[in-house]
Structure 1
Amino acid sequence: MHNFIKQLLLFSLLCSFSVSSQWYETTGHAQTSNTSVELARTQAIENALKKALLVSGASVSSVQQVVNGLLTQDQISIRASGSVNSIELVDEVHTNNLITVTIRADILPQDKKCFAVNFKKSLLITRSHLLQREQANLGGIYLIEKAVVAKLAKRLNQQSTFTKTTTILNNKTDFSRLNNSLASDEITQLTQSLSDSTDSQYIMFSEITNLSFNEQATNSWLFWQQGVYPRNFAINFYLYNGLNGELVWQKSYQNTAPWTFTKRIKVDVYANPFWQSEYGVMIGNIIESVVKDIDENIMCEPSSGKIIQVKGNQVMINLGRDHGLKIGDEFSLLHLTNFTNSVGKSYAGFNVSPYKVKVTKLTRQTATATTADGRLFGNIQIDDLAVRYEN
């Protein structure tokens, strides 16, 4: 193997790591007729790296110099969600006056340094789980595990710029049990199963961890006489990527507010008196914070849809008018693949297809897209991805 290839294997560009990084395999080309092989190789690698960054959701402003055959720059300048954690040169082919290189790049999300694309990501919110059910006894507010996430979904659909939200509220998932058992593989399977069955790009789980009363009432003796006690509310949210089952974001929220209902009354957690009470307003403020946090995290993710049909030179994807697509929008196609690195570790990743498709037909939930030159697809198949990015 060429020394350059040996040296380049897994060469780190950025000294930061993330469990949610993703491998992309791309091919780049450069002419050798009017330049040296070394410079042409540099240009081909830059070309391939730029493609990998673009389909990961990044917009590249520069892919800088290679010195003595090695990428030495500490940072690649991009304006989006991606930066390069590591890179591997897989293959190098010389044909006539053309050099072709294939690289694998580990693209690392870069928090809050991204631009928002104009498409909405599909988000499925599942029923929450009350960890200590006996804490809901006072007021009989057992349905709060449905009411809170229903309110969150409604607020997201009213306010969110970047999500199209649906819910599953009548049935609980196994998430809380699996989370308590640290069964990460099973959570991945659950997430992917829900994603497949609902055509959702992201899945959100939550656990209500505290509905208890403080031992002492509010400081005022008058409050004590009236039986108004501070009640806690704490909830954990977990946002997963439906495609690979990876945890994208998680956060805990908690606060306390007076519980102004009498001890014997059963409180309707769907009714206005609850949501207009001090306790309900406190939960509503938490929901507003969650909406903001979801938007900030999802906006940085690339807009992608699954391919649900392949026919000749056209594909159908599970994104449509409701997600903000328009006739003429362009997508790159990614083929799901698995590979083993030089030390024998297995990875899942994407092979970036040379095909680009343009949307020609739309429904509310789907889009049909065709290749511009009428070329038939090679290895693209159902469940591969169509990814939209901005130049």
Structure 2
Amino acid sequence: MKIRLLIQILCCLVFSVMSSTAFATWYTANGTGSDRNDAVNDAIRNVMLQAGADVKIEQNYKNGVLQSDNVNIMSSSPIKKLVVMSEQTTFSKVTVTIKAFIDERFAKARCSGAAVHKAVLPVSFRFADSQAYQGSIGIEGISKELDKLVMENLYNTSSFVTRPLVRANLNTSNSPNMSNDFQVSNLSSLADRYGSQYIILGTINSVSTSEVGNNVLTKLMYVPTRTINFDIDVYDAINEQIIFHRNYTAEADWPFKQSEYIDLRSDRFKSSEYGQRVYSLAADVSKDLVSELQCKPANAKIIDLDGDDVVINVGRENGISPNMKFTLVQAASMSGPNGDNYSAYEKSNSVYKVVSVYPHAAKLHPVDLQNNTLNVNVNDVVTLQ
């Protein structure tokens, strides 16, 4: 009896380990920081984004130990094993490469919206005005560098399907000479052209330096500082509105000469306090966007009709799979008291099921033909149940 009981226990343990392993995957990511702990924590954030993990999960690395909420990791932690594969120190910057074994059962966000990878379209950073551009002396390429940093982080985030960067001269200011209709039409057309629901807009407000005065002694004692201040806005093309706005700002010592041209890709810049702040803010953008969009309702536009079936503009690349169910939301054009046109959406009782999945589209069939809405049109919307 004891032998039989022991065999049963061993079988249960083996099955438990195999089940856990079946849901776990190795991920690799890089990280940078002022010391080893900061670099590994940066890599952990990157690997969690890469895995499409719930960004509310906080795990920290300190002196070789993974921690969660200031206590050692418990069994429900998504990271089961962490290996620092390489480490390099350049100037005052540490760069590491880690390999993490993540149990996706605990990592994934627990919301239906996270099942569909949102299609996002980044638009190149622009300067808010001529004064903002004039303040960029020495780092005139900062807009392209922010494009690169934010794009790299978005590409490594499995929660999104990130379209290639678009260099479009979009005037999205609140200028009295530009109507809201024009801005909405401009952004919505761009979203349709590139098959995206969300457009990410970046605006640089200031990268100016602060002088320490004309006193010779003061100049010898103090180092000038430089600001980095930019806004990120996210436009939802289906709901035709800005759904996210956040300002990112920092100030750090600027040890370079006023008239000196700085190579923003050089280790000299990257290892400076200012360079580190730029990299840190760019990483914050990705984390904030995942937090904002990860659990948003998964919507798609109807792009074609095939008898009773409809074809939508999301597919395999977005994580769509057969038998997923969507509810029809019908669009209507409305006019406001000032003559402004806007779209309104009304939820129906019609439910559709995915029957065919293509790389960038999917075909849906009504679940109940008897109670199905008849006047379905292109540009109507479906929402994941």
TM-score computed with the length of structure 1 as normaliser: 0.60
CA distance in 1, matches of 2:294, 2:301: 18
Find the counterpart in structure 1 of residue 148 from structure 2: 150
Change (3 A) 1:179 1:273: farther
Find the counterpart in structure 2 of residue 238 from structure 1: 233
Structure 2 residues without counterparts, runs of 5 or longer: 1-109
Find the counterpart in structure 2 of residue 123 from structure 1: 120
Change (3 A) 1:338 1:173: closer
Indicate yes or no: 2:323 matched with 1:325.
no
SS in 2 for 1:364: coil
CA distance in 1, matches of 2:210, 2:225: 6
- Post-superposition Cα deviations, 1:130-161, rounded to whole Å, max 9, x if no partner, equal 13211122x2x223222213311221221363
CA distance in 1, matches of 2:379, 2:164: 23
Identity between Structure 1 and Structure 2 (%)? 23
Please show how residues 1-391 of structure 1 align to structure 2 within 5 Å.
116-130=113-127, 131=129, 132-137=132-137, 139=138, 141-159=139-157, 161=159, 163-176=160-173, 178=174, 183-216=179-212, 224-225=219-220, 228-271=223-266, 273-338=268-333, 348-373=343-368, 378-389=374-385
Measure how far apart 1:168 and its partner are.
Answer: 3.4
Structure 1 residues without counterparts, runs of 5 or longer: 1-112
CA distance in 2, matches of 1:208, 1:361: 43
Contact 1:129 1:208 (C-alpha < 8 Å) held by counterparts? yes
CA distance in 1, matches of 2:266, 2:163: 21
Contact 1:258 1:279 (C-alpha < 8 Å) held by counterparts? yes
Find the counterpart in structure 2 of residue 87 from structure 1: none
Measure how far apart 1:319 and its partner are.
Answer: 0.7
Q: RMSD in angstroms over aligned alpha carbons?
A: 3.2
Change (3 A) 1:378 1:296: same
TM-score computed with the length of structure 2 as normaliser: 0.61
- Post-superposition Cα deviations, 1:333-377, rounded to whole Å, max 9, x if no partner, equal 111024689xxx997422323322211222232112222356786
- Post-superposition Cα deviations, 1:41-93, rounded to whole Å, max 9, x if no partner, equal xxxxxxxxxxxxxxxxxxxxxxxxxxxxxxxxxxxxxxxxxxxxxxxxxxxxx
Structure 2 counterpart of 1:372, which letter?
V
CA distance in 2, matches of 1:180, 1:275: 40
Change (3 A) 1:362 1:286: same
- Post-superposition Cα deviations, 1:241-295, rounded to whole Å, max 9, x if no partner, equal 1123212121111101223344454323345543343222101111222222222
SS in 2 for 1:268: coil
Contact 2:151 2:165 (C-alpha < 8 Å) held by counterparts? no
Structure 1 counterpart of 2:232, which letter?
F
CA distance in 1, matches of 2:313, 2:237: 13
SS in 2 for 1:356: strand
CA distance in 1, matches of 2:212, 2:260: 21
Q: How many equivalent pairs are there?
A: 267
Contact 1:213 1:229 (C-alpha < 8 Å) held by counterparts? yes
Find the counterpart in structure 2 of residue 97 from structure 1: none
Change (3 A) 1:158 1:181: farther
Contact 1:121 1:323 (C-alpha < 8 Å) held by counterparts? yes
Contact 2:181 2:341 (C-alpha < 8 Å) held by counterparts? no
